[in-house]
Amino acid sequence: MSQLFRLSVVFFVFGITIACTPHKEADSHTHHTSHGHSEQPAIPVDMSSLPEGITFADARIRAAFAGATTGAAYITINNNFAVDAHLISVSVSEDVAMSVEIHDMRMNGDMMQMFQLDNGVTIPAKTQLQLRPGGKHIMFMGLATELNEGKTIDLTFEFAKQPPQSISVPVVKL
Ligand SMILES: [Cu+2]
């Protein structure tokens, strides 16, 4: 008799678990979670056609709605040096934004969250770093200008051991 009682308790608890599961799943579906992994391994590329040093490709800034207080920029950085390069910071003139941060993404429970990479990013020798939507990216904080399509913004990249480089980046619809 006690055996049967125990069995029904187990079934009762199990039944509750099943009843809860769909609710939990439905709940998690309301957040958009699958934006891919933030951890990007260094991407080795054939750099034989590139000049020695650091070069940039695919630079673009996401057009933002009027009144936006932040903005995002994406770029591919090729490190065609025999040594690692370390990107310390990115900057823009103060009439563009108050500050610029290098961000990465990570999962916090069900939510995709951005966080600042305080120490910048290392780009190993002969690899490329892709700053792209859903992964590491450049973020303008305290936006002081409108990011309208067709505009260009000068970005300056500072490296630990290599001289800084500035490039003009177009604002595009992404
Ligand atoms: Cu960000």
* 53 in the same domain as 1: no
- Choose between 27 and 41: higher pLDDT: 41
* 79 in the same domain as 15: no
* 89 in the same domain as 127: yes
* 62 in the same domain as 2: no
User: How many domains are there within the chain?
Assistant: 2
Is residue 107 domain-resident? Answer: yes
Q: How far is the CA of 159 from the centre of ligand 1 (A)?
A: 20
* 153 in the same domain as 114: yes
Q: How far is the CA of 107 from the centre of ligand 1 (A)?
A: 14
Q: How far is the CA of 98 from the centre of ligand 1 (A)?
A: 15
> Residue 30 — very low, low, confident or very high, per pLDDT cuts 50/70/90?
very low
pLDDT of residue 44: 78
- What does the pLDDT look like over 42-84, one tens digit per residue? 777 888 899 999 999 999 999 999 999 999 999 999 999 999 9
- What does the pLDDT look like over 113-171, one tens digit per residue? 999 999 999 999 999 999 999 999 999 999 999 999 999 999 999 999 999 999 999 99
* 152 in the same domain as 105: yes
* 3 in the same domain as 70: no
> Residue 36 — very low, low, confident or very high, per pLDDT cuts 50/70/90?
very low
* 52 in the same domain as 25: no
State which residues form the domain around 3: 1-30
State yes or no: pLDDT of 13 exceeds 50.
Answer: no
Q: How far is the CA of 6 from the centre of ligand 1 (A)?
A: 53
Is residue 123 domain-resident? Answer: yes
* 87 in the same domain as 19: no
Output the DSSP codes for the chain.
-HHHHHHHHHHHHHHHHHHHHHHHHHHHHTS------S----EE---TTSPSEEEEEEEEEE---TT-SEEEEEEEEEEESSS-EEEEEEE--TTTEEEEEEEEEEEETTEEEEEE-TT-EEE-TTEEEEE-TTSSEEEEEEE-S---TT-EEEEEEEESSSPPEEEEEEEE--
pLDDT of residue 45: 82
> Residue 9 — very low, low, confident or very high, per pLDDT cuts 50/70/90?
very low
Q: How far is the CA of 133 from the centre of ligand 1 (A)?
A: 9
* 113 in the same domain as 49: yes
